[in-house]
Structure 1
Amino acid sequence: MGSNFRLSRRLTDGIEDLADEVVRSASHRAGLYLSSAWTEAYGLEPDTSKVMTESIRAVEAAAGPRVLPEDKRATLGKIVASLKSRTDWHLVLDRRDDDHPDHHAVVVGMIETLAFAQRDRHAGAPPTVLQAQGHVQVAANLVNWFSTGVVEFD
Structure 2
Amino acid sequence: MSKADTTLDEMIGRLSGGLELAFLQSLASSAKKSYNLLRMIAPVFMQVAFADPTLWPYDPSSSGISLAHALASPQFELGRFILTDTIISLTFGTQALVEYDLSHPLIQTNGEHPMEWLHGCPAQFMFSINGTPLGRKLETTHGHGILHVPTN
Q: Shared topology, TM-score over 0.5?
A: no
When you count helix as a share of all residues, which structure comes out higher? 1
Q: Which of structures 1 and 2 has the larger relative contact order (alpha carbons within 8 angstroms, sep 6+)? A: 1
When you count strand as a share of all residues, which structure comes out higher? 2
TM-score (norm 2): 0.31
TM-score (norm 1): 0.31
